[in-house]
């Protein structure tokens, strides 16, 4: 089922306003959610809206809370998200980091007490659209065992790296788990094995069976011990800089996951280089990748498919899950 | 074979001075190399010294070249390494980034035209010893196929994240390949399969056979497609910020690998927090990891083994490869 982008944006705006967000904030939050679906990131667009609405209703997410600056030193600032709406807090933080980068060449905002930022790539595209390099990450609830253990103690801590480019930004948006639980469920429901090992089964053996990993709750970090280590240090840096919670302090239930810590860094390469210099470098790298031998046509740069998907979804409507779409429409009709 | 740390440092200093480095620079470069071996990172300590000396002799590494600042904007600076000694250029860059962080809260140095930084963790420990968070990475020659291709087009681009801590810094130092060629050779010579898949064989199948991967030249990035994407964006950011070479422009032969691009970021959390706040956060994270169930005693934080190894090697002597040790001693006796 497809709906026009403007209908999706409107329905989300109405639903968020009805749930308690001030009009301008509802409009921005709805746009960010609609943009994720428009760009093909369905798992982190409309599909997450019902949970956001439920968390606002439950008071886990405070609809009225605005982020507050709690410390600053030159090019780095610390903000308290006050358990407000995650995508609005994150968007605000990257906006401040971009401002700081305009002044200082580089800017960093650490955000404590925030909520799920939904699509992480949002803030990468935001930076790239502003013409700056963006680097950000979030911690999460404990959803992966650290290497050497069986119980979830570390987060899949998604990281985003964005590089602005006239012919299409390069935006990496990836969690540190090899497969999300959503991806595991997808493979399971299609009856497919994972393309590569994705976790341990209950006997502690590596497996490509998605159901076995769902049963063991032992999905793999990327790179086995390496992603485990990366998750640990990103959690430390986010908690230290924001003076916020670390993964081990965050509730394990996704329905009450709150008080996350995030870091947003923006770097203005334009403060060092002539206009067009960065584009020439990125274009040459892309060209080199595209000329790879063998399955060369399959080599893509991060974010490459986004613009084509965006164009298609703007032309033909944005694919929506009917039940989530109905939920949002119904919420928007309450008063 | 073990030699006292001071003998190792002295021998390296003499060898580097004989090869053309000014006395103070030879002393620092030698210390950084000796420290790597002292800390147990043998592959990137003494073992790399003969190659450095040969590259200086061949003129690939310019012993006299000092890095030069080519652009600056507030908290970010661009330096030209002028194809000088890699570990001295990198150490200098992190030192500048730390200074910038003292002034601006965060500092960034991008370095072009440099050479192999040897042990990447060096610059993480440097930042952490100065009490700041360190984040740095380098591009490399093309040594990994991007996901979807068979020929090496991307680098294993090591990244380092360091968190200072009174009870022992947390320092992640990892390449984006699952196994280095050195590690593959080690497993092969011991007749062991890799613990997890490490690359493709010549038929394009994933394998744990180290020799098959050496034959195909198709080792895996961490996380399969994910590490491939991360390598690509880190290369882009390093080349853009430094206005230096990207991986596709770097010679494929390790003996002539030069003109690398690197990024050094330092963040002074002490500019935002009271003394001791960060330590409490990191200690609590470490404690949570240590209390993991099952194989709990095997869970380690990044860098955990370093201090114990350092202590042991300072007490009992630093293990050295006899042939590399002899080479360095002989070079030091020339005049």
Q: What is the pLDDT of residue B207?
A: 97
Model confidence at A295: pLDDT above 70: no
Lowest-pLDDT range of A115-119, A252-256, B168-172: A252-256
Instruction: State the residue for tokens 């490399």.
Output: B140
3-state secondary structure B252-318: CCHHHCCCEEEEEEEECHHHCCCCCHHHHHHHHHHHHHHCCCCCHHHCCCCCHHHHHHHHHHHHHCE
Cα–Cα dist B332/B51, whole Å: 15
Nearest CA of chain B to the CA of A289: how many Å? 7
Q: What is the pLDDT of residue A105?
A: 98
Q: What is the pLDDT of residue B294?
A: 62
Cα–Cα dist A251/A260, whole Å: 10
Interface contact flag, A206 B226, Cβ < 8 Å: no
Among B78, B105, B140, the strongest candidate for a mutation testing the A interface, having the largest count of A CBs within 10 A, is B105
Model confidence at B51: pLDDT above 60: yes
Residue-wise pLDDT tens digits, B122-146: 999 999 999 999 999 999 999 999 9
Q: What is the pLDDT of residue B335?
A: 64
Nearest CA of chain A to the CA of B108: how many Å? 7
Instruction: Name, in order, each residue with C-beta under 8 angstroms of A117's C-beta and a sequence gap of 6 or more.
Output: A86, A87, A89, A90, A123, A138, A260, A262
Interface contact flag, B148 A104, Cβ < 8 Å: no
8 A C-beta contact, residue A147 and residue B224: no
Model confidence at A249: pLDDT above 90: yes
Q: What fold characterizes domain A1-58+304-335?
A: Hypothetical Oxidoreductase Yiak; Chain: A, domain 1 (1.10.1530)
> Which positions in chain A touch B205 (Cβ < 8 Å)?
none
Model confidence at A60: pLDDT above 90: yes
Model confidence at A197: pLDDT above 70: yes
Interface contact flag, A73 B271, Cβ < 8 Å: yes
The verdict on whether B44 is a catalytic residue reads yes
Interface contact flag, B73 A272, Cβ < 8 Å: yes
Nearest CA of chain A to the CA of B140: how many Å? 14
**Phi, psi of B229, deg, nearest 5:** -65, -40
8 A C-beta contact, residue B199 and residue B228: no
Model confidence at A207: pLDDT above 80: yes
Model confidence at A294: pLDDT above 70: no
- Residue A253 — pLDDT band, cuts 50, 70, 90? confident
Model confidence at B43: pLDDT above 70: yes
Q: What is the pLDDT of residue B292?
A: 83
Six-digit token string for B240: 């853009």
Interface contact flag, A233 B267, Cβ < 8 Å: no
Cα–Cα dist B322/A334, whole Å: 79
Q: What is the pLDDT of residue A297?
A: 60
Cα–Cα dist B41/A148, whole Å: 22
- Higher-pLDDT residue of A150, A223: A223
Instruction: Name, in order, each residue with C-beta under 8 angstroms of A206's C-beta and a sequence gap of 6 or more.
Output: A197, A199, A200, A220, B196
Residue-wise pLDDT tens digits, A139-183: 999 999 999 998 999 999 999 999 999 999 999 999 999 999 999
CA B188-A197-B147 angle, to 5 degrees, is 75
> Which positions in chain B touch A295 (Cβ < 8 Å)?
148-150
Q: What is the pLDDT of residue A12?
A: 98
Rg (CA), chain B: 20
Cα–Cα dist B115/B117, whole Å: 6
Q: What is the pLDDT of residue A255?
A: 87
Q: What fold characterizes domain A65-173+226-302?
A: Ribosomal Protein S8; Chain: A, domain 1 (3.30.1370)
8 A C-beta contact, residue A161 and residue A263: no
Cα–Cα dist B221/A226, whole Å: 11
Query: Is domain A178-220 classified as CATH 1.25.40.10?
Result: no
Among B76, B139, B197, B303, the strongest candidate for a mutation testing the A interface, having the largest count of A CBs within 10 A, is B76
Nearest CA of chain A to the CA of B278: how many Å? 5
Average pLDDT, chain A: 96
Model confidence at B240: pLDDT above 80: yes
Nearest CB among B75, B174, B248 relative to A105 is that of B75
Residue-wise pLDDT tens digits, B141-196: 999 999 999 999 999 999 999 999 999 999 999 999 999 999 999 999 999 999 99
Residue-wise pLDDT tens digits, B284-300: 999 999 988 665 467 99
Q: What is the pLDDT of residue A254?
A: 84
Interface contact flag, A230 B174, Cβ < 8 Å: yes
> Which positions in chain A touch B153 (Cβ < 8 Å)?
288-289, 292, 299
Q: Matching CATH topology for B65-175+223-298 and B178-220?
A: no
Active-site residue, selected from the candidate residues A9, A44, A91, A169: A44
Cα–Cα dist A288/B151, whole Å: 11
The stretch A11-20 carries a mean pLDDT of 98
* Domain residue limits, chain B: 1-58+303-335, 65-175+223-298, 178-220
End-to-end CA distance of chain B: 27
Residue B76 half-sphere exposure toward CB, CA atoms < 13 A: 28
Residue-wise pLDDT tens digits, B190-234: 999 999 999 999 999 999 999 999 999 999 999 999 999 999 999
Interface contact flag, B104 A76, Cβ < 8 Å: yes
Query: Is domain B1-58+303-335 classified as CATH 1.10.1530.10?
Result: yes
Interface contact flag, B151 A292, Cβ < 8 Å: yes
Nearest CB among B110, B240, B292 relative to A151 is that of B292
Among B226, B294, B306, the strongest candidate for a mutation testing the A interface, having the largest count of A CBs within 10 A, is B226
Q: What fold characterizes domain B65-175+223-298?
A: Ribosomal Protein S8; Chain: A, domain 1 (3.30.1370)
The stretch A81-93 carries a mean pLDDT of 98
Cα–Cα dist B198/B211, whole Å: 11
* Whether the predicted interface score ipTM is above 0.90: yes
The stretch A209-216 carries a mean pLDDT of 97
pTM of this prediction exceeds 0.90: yes
Nearest CB among B105, B146, B247 relative to A73 is that of B105
Model confidence at A335: pLDDT above 90: no
Q: What is the pLDDT of residue B129?
A: 98
Between helix A121-129 and helix A23-38 the angle, nearest 10°, is 100
């Amino acid at each position: 089922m497809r709906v026009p982008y403007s209908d999706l944006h409107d329905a989300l705006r109405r639903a968020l306003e009805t749930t308690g967000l001030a009009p301008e904030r509802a409009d921005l939050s709805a746009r960010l959610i609609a943009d994720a679906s428009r760009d093909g990131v369905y798992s982190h667009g409309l599909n997450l809206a019902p949970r956001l609405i439920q968390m606002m209703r439950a008071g886990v997410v405070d609809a009225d809370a605005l982020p507050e600056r709690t410390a600053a030193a030159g090019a780095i600032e610390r903000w308290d998200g006050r358990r407000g709406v995650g995508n609005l807090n994150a968007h605000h933080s990257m906006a401040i980091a971009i401002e700081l980068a305009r002044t200082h060449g580089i800017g960093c905002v650490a955000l404590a007490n925030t909520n799920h930022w939904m699509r992480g790539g949002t803030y990468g595209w935001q930076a790239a659209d502003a013409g700056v390099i963006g680097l950000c990450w979030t911690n999460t609830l404990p959803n992966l065992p650290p290497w050497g253990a069986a119980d979830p103690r570390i987060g899949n801590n998604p990281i985003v790296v964005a590089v602005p480019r006239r012919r299409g930004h390069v935006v990496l948006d990836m969690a540190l788990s090899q497969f999300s639980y959503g991806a595991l469920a997808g493979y399971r429901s299609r009856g497919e094995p994972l393309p590569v090992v994705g976790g341990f089964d209950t006997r502690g053996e590596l497996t490509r069976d998605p159901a076995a990993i769902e049963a063991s709750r032992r999905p793999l970090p990327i790179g086995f011990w390496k992603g485990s280590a990366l998750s640990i240090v990103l959690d430390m840096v986010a908690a230290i800089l924001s003076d916020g919670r670390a993964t081990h302090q965050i509730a394990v239930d996704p329905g009450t996951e709150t008080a996350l810590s995030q870091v947003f860094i923006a770097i203005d390469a334009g403060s060092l280089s002539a206009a067009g210099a960065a584009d020439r470098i990125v274009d040459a790298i892309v060209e080199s990748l595209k000329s790879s031998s063998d399955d060369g046509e399959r080599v893509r740069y991060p974010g490459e498919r986004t613009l084509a998907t965006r164009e298609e979804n703007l032309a033909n409507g944005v694919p929506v899950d009917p039940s989530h779409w109905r939920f949002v429409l119904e919420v928007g009709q309450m008063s």
